[in-house]
Structure 1
Amino acid sequence: MTRSLLFSLLLLPALASAAPVPNAGSSQPVRRFALLVGVNDGGPGRAKLRYAVTDAQSFGDVLEELGGVQPQDRLMLMEGGRAELEGALSKFKAMIAAAKTSGGRTEALVYYSGHSDEAGLLLQQDRFGYKELRQALESLPADVRIAILDSCASGTLARQKGGVRRPSFLVDASTAVRGHAILTSSSEDEVSQESDRIGGSFFTHNLVSGMRGAADATGDGRVTLHEAYQFAFHETLARTEQTRAGAQHPAYDIELAGTGELVMTDLRSTAAVLVLGEMLDGRLYVRDAPGRLVVELKKFAGRATELGLQPGRYTVMRESLGVGSQAELVLDQGGRFVLAENAFRPVGLELTAMRGGGTPRLDGVTPAASGGSVPAVEGPPHRRMPFNLGLFPSVQTNDLFGGTVDNNFSLALAAGRTARLKGVALALGANWATDSVRGLQLAVGGNVARADVTGGQFAIGGNLATGALGGVQVATGLNIAQQGGLAGQLSVGGNLSRAPLSGAQLSVGTNWVQGDFDGVQGTVGLNAVRGRMEGVQMSVGMNWADTARGMQLSLLNVGDDVKGMQLGLINIAGKMSGLQLGIVNVAREMDSGLPIGALSIVKNGQFHVEAFGSDINFANTALKVGSRHFYTTVVVGMGHVAGAQGPSHWTLGFGLGGHIPVSERFFVDVDGVTHSVYDWDASFTTTRLLHQVRVIGGFQVAKHFTLIGGPTMNLLHGVDGDAITALSTFSRQGPKHFIWWPGMQVGVRL
């Protein structure tokens, strides 16, 4: 028979101590013990389970790696009967009692995976009743007791409702705990399922995935009872809705005294961390070197997810919008690996479906109630006819022969349908190929290919290729390639590729690639790549790429990880390595790049206001913005020449420079600045240009106060070629066409 998954946590506190309760801020040493029981044999008349033992081992591993259980405090019982379970419980009780003598808090966790019914656990030829199990748990001399059962028909334990929360037992153990928590993987009248695809039971598999970090909804590095249960609930329900045995509906009964959350695992203590990047999305399958499925989750873009794993080699499969991709990585001891979109490469998926319908699944396996795989159902055989003539699909020569017909040539006044096309299809209305196309589809209305296309689709209306596209799509309306490939898409309306694409997308409306892109995107409206872009994006409106390796040219350019160039009025990047040239440049991180614009804001870069005097102007104000090592500066100043009453001129300058950190407090800035010089009492018309090369040293006195100063080399000339006189108190030259002299400036940076 199949088994029902029950996950129940039963907490029974010790008797209240006469000593006062410690303050909330205090802490006590915590030692955690685990008894892990796995029994595949449920006795005569019951099918032997495949994964009860491995489920117990997997749960024990995550407790030892992330759940605070030391190897010496972990007790395993595999394939035993009633006598063996009683002996294990007795030994477990003695282990906890011995630890109590050294002081501190103790916590006990008992996990069982195997057969059971409404009355109790089924252990080979024996039964161990739920009442006996409760009594055994209550006798454990631990401050906190947890029972986790993954077994059949145990939903009857979770009939009471309500409850409150208590402090986290792994983090805050300062408050006495009273009460219990029971969580069940299915209702009392539902069966449970285990799957060959995941190599275990659905609920335990999802629970372990959640405890490894997939359930960390808050991103604080800890997985609480509530987070783990919610993740396992939704994943189990989603993954069993289409199985033969039907959906499982986990339930719970919690009655706990206190405040706070029960912490199941602490990801900060893991040996290695796999970070699923912020922009990564899709269903992900993480397998270790032997091929075991370690973690499975649905990842949404917008927030990074951290998984606690053991060091080693891993393969990550991703399924997104029916397209498969794969990444390989190595986690080092104590390492932290960030997995981004650009690490994935397209792979083919073998999709299978349940007989009579059902949802296709990744890895070629559809889970069944008994744990087997369901093979794919083959389609009908194909016939081949050289040509097809008709008005529309129900009135054409292909239908005279019945079955599925392939053609080399198809001509239809309204719409024509073929299975596989190797040649040319012409229609005033539409061409429909239920399989692949090797050739040309030409229509006034639209062309559809339900599989790969090698050749071209030309239409006034639109083109759709649901398989890989290896050719060109040309339309006035819309081009869609569902699985990308090597292609060119040209339209007035828009181009859409829902998978990696190599080639060109040219349109007046919108170009969109849901995956990696290698080539040229050109549009008047929007270019978007939800993956890695290598090439050029050109648009009058907006360019957007998750990862860009090349050039973005548009009024507005946006990229999360950019290496290359952004040229536009407004440039926005997450991580920028290269050149940003625009009126406004914004970057979250820029270590090796140069922003050039009227306003450049880099979160980890420079944003400084300077006030200083020089030999040219007695008062100057400057704004310096840019990356860590490169910046742009805007300078406004006013000054007077000897003998003048009040200011005689004012200047407006713009420049580029480099920032050289020498020590924690000392730095040197080297830049070139060009100023327009205006007469104070004249109109807004420049009469002279001043070019400066400045070497300015700085010493940071306080967090927002730095002394600056250094030499300058100056060149002054008139804009119309007339002779001029010097502005500096350091130079009495003139009248001349060009005047140069050494100067200096001193001031402060705020």
Structure 2
Amino acid sequence: MRVLVILLFALGPATSARAAEPSAVRRLALLVGVNDGGPERVKLRYADTDAKAFSQVLSELGGVLPQDRVLLTDVDRAGVLAGFDRLRHLAEGARATGARRVEVLLYYSGHSDDEGLLLKGQRLDYGELRRALEGLPADVRIAVLDSCASGAFARRKGGVARPAFLVDSGIQVKGHAILTSSSADEASQESDRLGGSFFTHHLVSGLRGAADVTHDGRVTLTEAYQFAFHETLARTERTQGGAQHPNYDIELAGTGDLVMTDLRATTAGLVLAEPLEGRLYVRDAVGTLVVEVQKLSGRATELGLAPGAYRARRELDGGVSEATFTLKEGVRTSLAPGDFLGVGHEATVMRGGGALTGASQERRMFPVNLSLVPGVSTNTLRAGRAPVENRFALGVVNGGTALGGGLALGLVGNVYDAEVVGAAMALGFNTAGREVSGVQLSLVTNVAGGAVSGAQASLGLNVANGDVDGVGQLALGANVARGALGGVQAALGANITTSDATGMQLSLGVNHANGTMRGVQLSVGVNSVATEARGIQGSVLLNRAPSLTGMQLGLINVGGDVTGMQLGLLNVAGVVHGMQLGLVNVSEEVHGAPVGLVTYEKKGQLHLEVFGSDVQLTNVALKFGGKFFYTTLLAGLGPDDRFERFSLGLGLGGHIPLGSRFWVDVDVASSQVLSTRKPFSGDTGNLLGQLRAMLGFQVMPRLAVFGGPTYNAWITWDEPRFAKLSTLSVRTHDINATTRVQHWPGFQLGVRL
């Protein structure tokens, strides 16, 4: 059971989004999707999917930058509270940078009861949730909760059922508004057809432009809610769970309205032409339903979508038609009635005495079938074209409606219109019109029209047009599962699943899961996940996951939010909770340890230092890295009057904050001392090693002073151009006739910008 709640907390003055300048408004978002409510709750399927869909529309059309989004899935109570802390830091940073207005948005999809959110068996009380929201330093606060029994949240405030509309709330607003997608004693529902909850699906469709009743290219909170309310009520009236009736409690005073999305923000767009009418379902290249809208004739409608390939399905007067199109950067693409081509309805079974069509007719049972080809067989002689089910089939090409709990041996192939239960073996191909429960074995191709529970093995290609459970798919060529994977895909070429994968993908080429990967991906080439990886990605070349919980091991690792470890030559991530270990590490923020030769953290350190030392009169250093670990690039010019020497070096160190203004940096640096007259020719036989400690004081945000001791060791071999580097007392040790070591304590003083 799921109920959606929208809360608009506007506890300070706010200006209209359409009146404010873009640079004056900063919008931040915390998005949480948790399928697991605890051992006593039915596990949801689409809570995390809903959170990602809401995150995507905010990113594309809602003005939320990637660095201003915190997306959390499969987290517990502590994880949500940690997300609030991250959102609070973002809001404080926005205030510090001079944003005139700060807006924060919370989205939660998962389980709850009449007392609070339920997260993996743990409870987050509504009171604590309200305090966390009110504690965010923002002008406008919007919260969307898609969870069980959330209607009680509105009822606790004394709310009563009212007509479904939302008052204007944008310019000078104080108070709050609580909106629920169903009453406290109703259940909200999620749909396999939609791949998400009814209310969230229609709310996202509305935000993409379906709710833009004024046709001004912007969707307000009022428009989005009203559209989602009416669509949800209409689409749930005849479902098993029953209709959902929204109610709310409003305590707002103000004028104006809050703009949620701007359709002009995307670089591409879809325009539904004026003559076009009917219910439209728009899916992206991988089949995800992104927009559903009832289009009326007489006025054009614009939808905000990202560039890419799409397919639109139209239902009108009992007929079904489809159109395919591609949205390009900077182009608004129009879709008209002439772009659609009619398609047939799927064969269905009508319950309650209706007629049966296609393969749904009652099958006749013949234990054995002998055939040359499907039309020349004992099945055809005895049953004509009627559906037949066999237990054993032997022939050059076996054919029939179904194989029920038996074995089919075909010299060339086996073709079944319905399901295969048992084993189908052929040198050429195996084709099942629907599910396979058992084994398909061939040298060339195995195709299942539905789900596979068992195994497909071939030298060429395995295709399952549904879920794959069991041993999985084994091929030298490629494995394709057009559904969820629960098992193993192993291939020399490629493994692809168009939905979630739980288990293992092994290949020499490419592994791709177009959903959440729970398990292991191992390849020589590329491992790719479209939404989230939970487990291990190991590749010689590239690992990619927008969200990772586990480990990436490869030459190049690319992740979004990473909880765990990236180990490779190049590691790239958004927010990291754990470790990056590599030659080059790049991230937005690290809560852990980035260890590498070159580490760049967007929210970490990036400083220019100018200092003098006993070794070099003038030195410049560039420090970059995380909050506690950094890399420094060094360059210096000698102290003598003729400036005959310079140095270039690299260092690794750690940063230790001491309160709000003081800090200590400790690092190890290595430099080469070169001649300004003939650099890199004959004087490269030396190496300067330094252990440095620097105590710093932050004078202002972009200015600090520092100083501290150093210990230096200069190793030379062959004949160096310089007798010594420091004017201080130096100890000298001759290792052999050509190698000498000089070491001494020194100092440095400088400023940091």
Alignment TM class, shorter chain as reference: 0.5 to 0.7
Deviations 1:571-606 (A, max 9, x none): 2333242024234x32122021214244x3313211
Shift of 1:682: 2.0
Range with greater deviation from structure 2 (659-668 or 496-505) = 496-505
Which of 735, 747, 750 lines up with 1:747 in the alignment? 750
Partner of 2:276: none
Shift of 1:301: 12
Partner of 1:484: 485
What is the alpha-carbon distance in structure 2 between the residues aligned to residue 663 and residue 173 of structure 1?
Answer: 37
Partner of 2:515: 514
| 1:448 is aligned to 2:448 | yes
What is the alpha-carbon distance in structure 1 between the residues aligned to residue 614 and residue 708 of structure 2?
Answer: 12
Q: 1:579 to 1:665 in 2, by over 3 A?
A: same
What is the alpha-carbon distance in structure 2 between the residues aligned to residue 445 and residue 214 of structure 1?
Answer: 39
1:450 match: secondary structure:
coil
Deviations 1:128-165 (A, max 9, x none): xxxxxxxxxxxxxxxxxxx559xxxxxxxxxxxxxxx9
Contact map agreement 1:511 1:521 (CA 8 A) in 2: no
Which of 644, 648, 651 lines up with 1:652 in the alignment? 648
Partner of 2:572: 571
Shift of 1:436: 2.8
What is the alpha-carbon distance in structure 2 between the residues aligned to residue 727 and residue 59 of structure 1?
Answer: 73
Partner of 1:228: 225
Q: 1:694 to 1:413 in 2, by over 3 A?
A: same
What is the alpha-carbon distance in structure 1 between the residues aligned to residue 605 and residue 188 of structure 2?
Answer: 50
Within 5 Å, give how 1:313-712 maps onto structure 2.
357=348, 390=371, 393-395=374-376, 402-403=388-389, 404-406=402-404, 407-417=406-416, 419-432=419-432, 434-448=434-448, 450-464=450-464, 466-475=466-475, 477-481=477-481, 482-496=483-497, 498-528=499-529, 530-541=531-542, 543-555=544-556, 557-569=558-570, 571-583=572-584, 585-598=585-598, 600-640=599-639, 644-684=640-680, 686-712=684-710
What is the alpha-carbon distance in structure 1 between the residues aligned to residue 698 and residue 612 of structure 2?
Answer: 18
Contact map agreement 1:634 1:654 (CA 8 A) in 2: yes
What is the alpha-carbon distance in structure 2 between the residues aligned to residue 199 and residue 503 of structure 1?
Answer: 32
Partner of 2:84: none
Q: 1:424 to 1:148 in 2, by over 3 A?
A: closer
Q: 1:497 to 1:231 in 2, by over 3 A?
A: closer
Q: 1:416 to 1:560 in 2, by over 3 A?
A: same
Deviations 1:330-383 (A, max 9, x none): xxxxxxxxxxxxxxxxxxxxxxxx998599xxxxxx9x9xxxxxxxxx977888
2:479 match: secondary structure:
strand
Unaligned runs of 5+ in 1: 1-57, 77-109, 112-146, 150-164, 175-184, 186-194, 201-205, 251-257, 265-280, 285-299, 303-353, 360-365, 369-377
Partner of 2:741: 738
Within 5 Å, give how 1:167-316 maps onto structure 2.
168=169, 172=173, 198=188, 224-236=221-233, 260-261=256-257
What is the alpha-carbon distance in structure 1 between the residues aligned to residue 465 and residue 366 of structure 2?
Answer: 23
What is the alpha-carbon distance in structure 2 between the residues aligned to residue 707 and residue 594 of structure 1?
Answer: 26
Q: 1:392 to 1:558 in 2, by over 3 A?
A: farther
Contact map agreement 2:547 2:561 (CA 8 A) in 1: yes
Q: 1:564 to 1:429 in 2, by over 3 A?
A: same
Q: Considering only aligned residues, what root-mean-square deviation do their CA atoms show, in Å?
A: 5.0
Q: 1:511 to 1:550 in 2, by over 3 A?
A: same
Contact map agreement 2:202 2:228 (CA 8 A) in 1: no
| 1:727 is aligned to 2:730 | no
2:603 match: secondary structure:
coil
Unaligned runs of 5+ in 2: 1-148, 176-180, 191-196, 210-218, 247-253, 261-286, 291-304, 308-344, 353-358, 390-401, 735-739
1:413 match: secondary structure:
strand
Contact map agreement 2:503 2:520 (CA 8 A) in 1: yes
What is the alpha-carbon distance in structure 1 between the residues aligned to residue 204 and residue 742 of structure 2?
Answer: 68
Q: 1:381 to 1:500 in 2, by over 3 A?
A: farther
What is the alpha-carbon distance in structure 2 between the residues aligned to residue 197 and residue 397 of structure 1?
Answer: 54
1:590 match: secondary structure:
strand
What is the alpha-carbon distance in structure 2 between the residues aligned to residue 546 and residue 525 of structure 1?
Answer: 16
Deviations 1:217-240 (A, max 9, x none): 99xxx9942231122244445556
Aligned partner letter, 1:483: A
Shift of 1:386: 7.3
Shift of 1:727: 0.9
Contact map agreement 2:348 2:360 (CA 8 A) in 1: no
What is the alpha-carbon distance in structure 2 between the residues aligned to residue 535 and residue 59 of structure 1?
Answer: 36
What is the alpha-carbon distance in structure 2 between the residues aligned to residue 437 and residue 207 of structure 1?
Answer: 32
1:168 match: secondary structure:
coil
Shift of 1:388: 5.6
Contact map agreement 2:171 2:257 (CA 8 A) in 1: no
How many residue pairs end up in the alignment?
Answer: 464
1:582 match: secondary structure:
strand
What is the alpha-carbon distance in structure 2 between the residues aligned to residue 448 and residue 626 of structure 1?
Answer: 51
Q: 1:199 to 1:651 in 2, by over 3 A?
A: closer
What is the alpha-carbon distance in structure 2 between the residues aligned to residue 282 and residue 532 of structure 1?
Answer: 19
Deviations 1:78-107 (A, max 9, x none): xxxxxxxxxxxxxxxxxxxxxxxxxxxxxx
What is the alpha-carbon distance in structure 1 between the residues aligned to residue 150 and residue 557 of structure 2?
Answer: 50
Shift of 1:485: 1.1
What is the alpha-carbon distance in structure 2 between the residues aligned to residue 561 and residue 216 of structure 1?
Answer: 29
Shift of 1:457: 1.9
What is the alpha-carbon distance in structure 2 between the residues aligned to residue 497 and residue 675 of structure 1?
Answer: 52
1:228 match: secondary structure:
helix
Q: 1:453 to 1:601 in 2, by over 3 A?
A: same
Partner of 2:54: none
What is the alpha-carbon distance in structure 2 between the residues aligned to residue 213 and residue 62 of structure 1?
Answer: 23
What is the alpha-carbon distance in structure 2 between the residues aligned to residue 428 and residue 728 of structure 1?
Answer: 80
What is the alpha-carbon distance in structure 1 between the residues aligned to residue 646 and residue 629 of structure 2?
Answer: 27
Deviations 1:401-451 (A, max 9, x none): 624332223315244327334335114144326333323421413432633
Which of 713, 716, 719 lines up with 2:711 in the alignment? 713
What is the alpha-carbon distance in structure 1 between the residues aligned to residue 662 and residue 569 of structure 2?
Answer: 35
Q: 1:393 to 1:639 in 2, by over 3 A?
A: farther
1:568 match: secondary structure:
strand
Q: 1:538 to 1:717 in 2, by over 3 A?
A: same
Contact map agreement 2:414 2:424 (CA 8 A) in 1: no
Shift of 1:703: 0.8
Give the TM-score normalised by the residue count of structure 2: 0.52
What is the alpha-carbon distance in structure 2 between the residues aligned to residue 358 and residue 710 of structure 1?
Answer: 82
Give the TM-score normalised by the residue count of structure 1: 0.52
Shift of 1:477: 4.5
Partner of 2:399: none
Percent of aligned pairs with the same residue? 22
Contact map agreement 1:217 1:227 (CA 8 A) in 2: no
Q: 1:735 to 1:421 in 2, by over 3 A?
A: same
What is the alpha-carbon distance in structure 1 between the residues aligned to residue 514 and residue 203 of structure 2?
Answer: 32
Shift of 1:63: 4.7
What is the alpha-carbon distance in structure 1 between the residues aligned to residue 457 and residue 703 of structure 2?
Answer: 65
What is the alpha-carbon distance in structure 2 between the residues aligned to residue 743 and residue 63 of structure 1?
Answer: 68
What is the alpha-carbon distance in structure 2 between the residues aligned to residue 260 and residue 488 of structure 1?
Answer: 55
Partner of 1:349: none
Range with greater deviation from structure 2 (434-443 or 619-628) = 434-443
2:680 match: secondary structure:
coil
